[in-house]
Amino acid sequence: MADETVAGAEWRFPFSVRYVEDPIVFKEAFQSPVSDILPALVHAFAQEGFDPDWVEPDRQVVGLTRFTMERRHGTRPMSAFLDCGLTKTGRSLANDARIIAGIVSQVVETGPHQCTVLVRFEAYAQPSGASSGRAQNCTTTGELEQAIFLRLRFR
């Protein structure tokens, strides 16, 4: 696969062999062929509330390249999924700011009826109101990626 990037919010999603070694990419192996996992991955995104705007079967890529979130994802506070630092008053910025994010996944065939799913979730927080200030990069906690893997395991 050629070294390529796809624009996201304030970042670029890399897709290359080096992507597999990226420390902020979560990965999990599955005993299923790519042809089974890819549609299940689209469904897992939907179950998590994401309508992918990027589905590329030839490259086995599924993603939502730019979206916003505020305060909660499902029933959980955003701080369960992201660490964006603290507001001026010491509260979690992830819970008090507008989150601009992207999530992209790629399925890599690793053998007959085997594949690895890679998920990269990136975001930044744009403070508003009493917590206003400059945008802050966020770090994933891995919870959202694990939720997608869980949905794939129990499909």
For residue 18, pLDDT over 90 is answered with no
Helix or strand or coil: residue 155? coil
Q: Got the DSSP string for 32-61? A: S-HHHHHHHHHHHHHHTT---SEEETTTTE
Nearest of 14, 38, 4, 37 to residue 122 by alpha carbon: 14
Nearest of 61, 29, 34, 59 to residue 45 by alpha carbon: 61
For residue 17, pLDDT over 50 is answered with no
pLDDT at 16: 37
Mean pLDDT of 51-68: 89
| Residue 77 β-bridge partners | 72
Helix or strand or coil: residue 137? strand
- Structural domain including 98 reads 4-153
Most confident of 45-54, 63-72, 118-127: 45-54
Percent of the chain having pLDDT more than 70?
81
For the stretch 83-106, pLDDT in tens is 988 887 888 889 988 899 889 999
Q: Got the DSSP string for 57-83? A: TTTTEEEEEEEEEESEETTEEGGGTEE
How many whole angstroms separate alpha carbon 96 and alpha carbon 79? Answer: 9
Report how many domains make up the chain.
1
Q: Any idea what the CATH number is for the domain that residue 107 is in?
A: 3.30.530.50
Mean residue pLDDT across the chain: 81
Whether pTM > 0.75 for this model: the answer is yes
How many whole angstroms separate alpha carbon 45 and alpha carbon 78? Answer: 17
143 sits in which H/E element: helix 143-153
pLDDT at 129: 66
pLDDT at 6: 39
Q: How many CB atoms lie under 10 A from the CB of residue 68?
A: 11
pLDDT at 73: 83
pLDDT at 116: 92
For the stretch 100-143, pLDDT in tens is 988 999 999 999 999 999 999 888 888 776 556 778 888 899 99
For residue 22, pLDDT over 80 is answered with no
